[in-house]
Amino acid sequence: MTDSSTMQKLLYLLQTAALLSLLSGWPLAQVSAALPARVDGQPLPSLAPMLERVVPGVVNISTLTEIATEQHPLLRDPFFRRFFNIPGRPRERENHSLGSGVVIDADRGLILTNHHVIESADAMHVTLHNGRRVEAELIGSDPETDIALLRVTAEALTEIPLADSDALRVGDFVVAVGSPFGLAQTVTSGIVSALGRTGLGIEGYESFIQTDASINPGNSGGPLVNLNGELVGLNTAILAPGGGNVGIGFAIPTNMVRIVVDQILEHGGVRRGLFGAAAQDLTPELSAALGIELFRGAVITTVETGSAAESAGLKPGDIVIAVDNHSIGNSADLRNRIGLLSAGSAVELSILRGGKRHTLHGTLADPFAGFIQGKTLSMMLEGALIGETLRDTPRGRQRLVGVGPLRPGSPAWMSGLRDGDLILQVNRMPIRNLNDLKQALQAVGGELYSLQVLRDGQLLLLARR
């Protein structure tokens, strides 16, 4: 008897059980419990053989973050601290968090997880399938896609192979594995509910797989696999209006994961190229106004002077329908496709202009061209790229000092700086250029100093000795 006919008989039995439940009022669980273990002498299909290969490749990740406790302003004064015999260092409390991860390279000890699982962690440990607990090293992460890559030193690891997530179809069966609420190696199943979900505001770059497989706190960073036991997505988030799972979970597709991991391994982070154009969705109303019969694409609204987009010949009003032979459905598709390309990458654009199709070629600019190694300014900035950059501010376009990719664990990283930060002040001294920054850090010496930075539109004050 073939597997397909066995499955058909199983589905028939389940449908019959469901009908009996509705007609009789019996709970479905009581009816299905009476189903036979075999059909025509064949065992019923089971996920167990596949899970025996997958589950050993799933790990539990625990992090520890030390957080300084809030103090009364008077207690920050050294005189009062000495007078009341208060220790010089403020008290700290420990914050623990849990997440999941997936081994993607057993030989090199590479473990994939979410950036938000390990964000700001001072220490990370991984619990393997056999219960062994080992320390983990952060190789790099990308907050924009919520992907992080760790390394552990351990023997006999089991890796989960990566599948082509573009081959997924809505309705495909998928299985999620992780540690929801700390319950290690929990398995749930469902189907692919939708593909290419964007505009959710969860991450900077979104093209999520939506699934109804149950995902809960602690599942973050765990694998979403197909029935072959191959990784198709990295479980990341849920929509939970009431605080619990309602069957709407999201996973980052492996094809996006591959691109980010390759850049992390090469650069320690993602070095996105600059394109220099903005776009909006091509709506049916806009298509009618333009007199075209096209409902998918991204309409270019602005092109920056001197940008890679201008050099490629792109103009406002052009409709981008494909990038590197990948179709573009909306502006989010365009942003994702361009945003995952590294600096210096060649890009091919298929556009519509005046109702005619054209092909444009360009090269993405390096946002860190002209940046220098931070240690040439001060050993406090060792491990980071630092440079001057033009940014739009409330006072207009200004040249500011920006932070590029950092090496996790480096002095610059430990000072609290992160990729994309703009350094505005050091010990209240304004920083307008690299020379200002060098002089300010030289004046600090080995004393406690503060950094005022602008991060994602918010002013932050970082303190470091």
Tell me the per-residue pLDDT of 424-454, one tens digit each, with 9 for 90 and over: 998 889 998 888 988 888 888 767 778 899 8
Give percent of the chain with pLDDT exceeding 90. 37
Residue 184 φ/ψ, nearest 5 degrees: -65, 150
Residue in this structure with the two tokens 């207690």, named with its chain if needed:
75
Average pLDDT, the chain: 82
Phi-psi region of 379 (alpha: psi -120 to 50; beta: other; left: phi over 0): alpha
Give the pLDDT band (50/70/90) at residue 21: very low
Which pLDDT belongs to residue 70? 46
Which pLDDT belongs to residue 315? 94
Per CATH, the homologous superfamily of domain 277-363 is: PDZ domain (2.30.42.10)
Contact partners, residue 84, CB within 8 Å, separation at least 6: 75
Residue 173 or residue 15, greater confidence: 173
pTM: 0.74
Residue 406 or residue 447, greater confidence: 406
Per-residue pLDDT, averaged over 38-64, amounts to 85
Residue 54 or residue 87, greater confidence: 54
Give percent of the chain with pLDDT exceeding 70. 80
Highest mean pLDDT, choosing among 80-94, 176-190, 236-250, 397-411: 176-190
b/e per residue 96-124 (b: at least 16 CB within 10 A): ebbbbbbbbeeeebbbbbbbbbbeebeeb
Give the pLDDT band (50/70/90) at residue 45: confident
Give the pLDDT band (50/70/90) at residue 89: low
> 190-234 pLDDT, tens per residue?
999 999 888 777 777 888 999 999 888 888 999 999 999 999 999
Does the pLDDT of residue 352 top 70, yes or no? yes
Q: CB atoms < 10 A from the CB of 358, how many?
A: 13
The two structure tokens encoding residue 88? 């010089």
Which pLDDT belongs to residue 28? 41
Contact partners, residue 24, CB within 8 Å, separation at least 6: 31
Which pLDDT belongs to residue 39? 60
> 104-138 pLDDT, tens per residue?
999 999 999 999 999 878 889 999 988 899 999 99
Does the pLDDT of residue 54 top 50, yes or no? yes
Domain regions of the chain by residue span: 3-45, 47-269, 277-363, 372-464
277-363 has the same fold as 47-269: no
Going 426 to 432 to 434 to 435, the CA torsion angle's sign is: negative
Instruction: Please choose, from the candidates 321, 320, 306, the residue with its C-alpha nearest in 3D space to the C-alpha of residue 276.
Output: 306
Q: CB atoms < 10 A from the CB of 185, how many?
A: 16
Residue 125 appears among annotated catalytic residues = no
Residue 326 appears among annotated catalytic residues = no
Calpha distance 423→430 (Å, rounded) = 9
Does the pLDDT of residue 38 top 50, yes or no? yes
Per-residue pLDDT, averaged over 304-317, amounts to 91
Catalytic pick among 142, 146, 333, 419: 146
Calpha distance 359→370 (Å, rounded) = 31
Which pLDDT belongs to residue 36? 59
Q: Helices marked H in 275-324 — which ranges? A: 284-290, 308-312
Least-confidence region, from 100-104, 149-153, 441-445: 441-445
Calpha distance 387→265 (Å, rounded) = 23
Highest mean pLDDT, choosing among 28-37, 287-296, 320-329, 384-393: 320-329
CA angle 160, 216, 53 (to 5 degrees): 20
Per-residue pLDDT, averaged over 258-268, amounts to 90
CA atoms within 13 A on the CB side of 92: 10
Highest mean pLDDT, choosing among 339-353, 365-379, 388-402: 339-353
Catalytic pick among 220, 307, 331, 350: 220
Residue 40 appears among annotated catalytic residues = no
Per-residue pLDDT, averaged over 353-374, amounts to 87
Per-residue pLDDT, averaged over 365-370, amounts to 80
Does the pLDDT of residue 305 top 90, yes or no? no
Give the pLDDT band (50/70/90) at residue 4: very low
Calpha distance 127→221 (Å, rounded) = 14
Which pLDDT belongs to residue 157? 94
- Domain 47-269, what fold? Thrombin, subunit H (2.40.10)
CB 111 within 8 A of CB 126: yes
CB 342 within 8 A of CB 272: yes
Calpha distance 235→213 (Å, rounded) = 10
The two structure tokens encoding residue 213? 């497989």
Going 302 to 208 to 232 to 43, the CA torsion angle's sign is: negative
Catalytic pick among 62, 116, 165, 307: 116
Which pLDDT belongs to residue 19? 45
CATH number of 372-464: 2.30.42.10
